């Protein structure tokens, strides 16, 4: 019988938690959640406030493109990327004495409710600086978005003609020729505005009255959740210890 298999004795069942122990675990959980929430909220009071400014930009879709929803969505996404690109942000950063990477961290752009409106937001510790940067970025974006291609060429030609019209010394023949040329260019631009996509500022830059960060409510909730996680881990450890034979 010496070769018969030996089996380890079954472990005795664990003890059950008493009513007092359960009460302690519940109290511990509530206390840790409260402490976490208070610490999270307190941290939000110490962190520097960040303010924001916003502007709304409308990306006007040409009539011939409005039926192609995939193309419209693609065009809008492209404009969001362009709005936050170095082509737009670099000149603004240079003009305001900022590093372009630092400026990029302040900037966000989103499409509002599946519309053709893009909301640009810039965060800064100074509310007036946020408005200034938002306005400058919107203007630079319009310059980049609307000045390229044939439209940009026509606009530059029209500007040159208007400059010639304003210069003194034009005789009657020159004045008539320039007027005809200006009217032709303006007509071509108007037609292009109908057949090509074009961006425009719908709402000028304005400040958001309340700080956008830190979010005190979110910080408190986050602290409370962290406290709950710690409480659960502690409760598991204590439960194993108290129910061990």
pTM exceeds 0.85 for this model: no
Render pLDDT for 62-92 as a digit per residue (tens, 0 to 9): 554 444 555 567 778 888 888 999 989 999 9
For residue 201, pLDDT over 70 is answered with yes
Render pLDDT for 160-181 as a digit per residue (tens, 0 to 9): 778 888 888 778 777 888 888 8
| Angle CA 211–215–220, to nearest 5 | 150
- pLDDT, residue 135, reads 95
Residues near 239 by beta carbon (within 8 Å), at least 6 away in sequence:
17, 25
Mean pLDDT of the chain: 81
Question: Pick from 116, 2, 127, 159: which is nearest to 53 by CA?
Answer: 127
Whole-angstrom distance, CA of residue 185 vs CA of residue 193: 12
Q: What do you get for the CA distance between the two ends of the chain, in Å?
A: 33
- Range 4-33 average pLDDT: 79
- pLDDT, residue 206, reads 94
- pLDDT, residue 99, reads 94
């Amino acid at each position: 019988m010496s070769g018969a298999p030996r089996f380890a004795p079954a472990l005795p069942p664990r003890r059950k938690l008493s009513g007092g122990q359960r009460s302690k675990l519940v109290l511990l959980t509530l206390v840790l959640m409260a402490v976490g929430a208070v610490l999270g909220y307190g941290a939000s009071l110490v962190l520097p406030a960040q303010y924001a400014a916003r502007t709304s930009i409308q990306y006007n879709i040409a009539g011939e493109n409005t039926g192609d929803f995939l193309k419209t969505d693609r065009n809008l996404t492209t404009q969001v990327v362009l709005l936050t690109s170095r082509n737009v942000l670099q000149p603004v950063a240079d003009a305001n004495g900022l590093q372009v990477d630092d400026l990029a961290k302040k900037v966000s752009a989103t499409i509002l409710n599946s519309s053709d409106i893009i909301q640009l937001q810039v965060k800064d510790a100074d509310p007036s600086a946020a408005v200034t940067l938002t306005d400058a970025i919107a203007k630079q974006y319009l310059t980049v978005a609307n000045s390229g291609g044939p439209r940009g060429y026509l606009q530059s030609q029209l500007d040159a003609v208007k400059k010639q019209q304003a210069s003194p010394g034009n005789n009657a023949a020159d004045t008539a020729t320039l007027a005809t040329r200006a009217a032709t260019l303006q007509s071509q631009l108007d037609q292009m505005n109908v057949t090509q996509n074009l961006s425009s500022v719908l709402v000028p830059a304005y400040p958001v009255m309340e700080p956008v960060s830190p979010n005190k409510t979110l910080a408190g909730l986050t602290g409370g959740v962290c406290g709950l996680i710690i409480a659960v881990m502690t409760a598991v450890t204590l439960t194993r210890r108290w129910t061990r034979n």
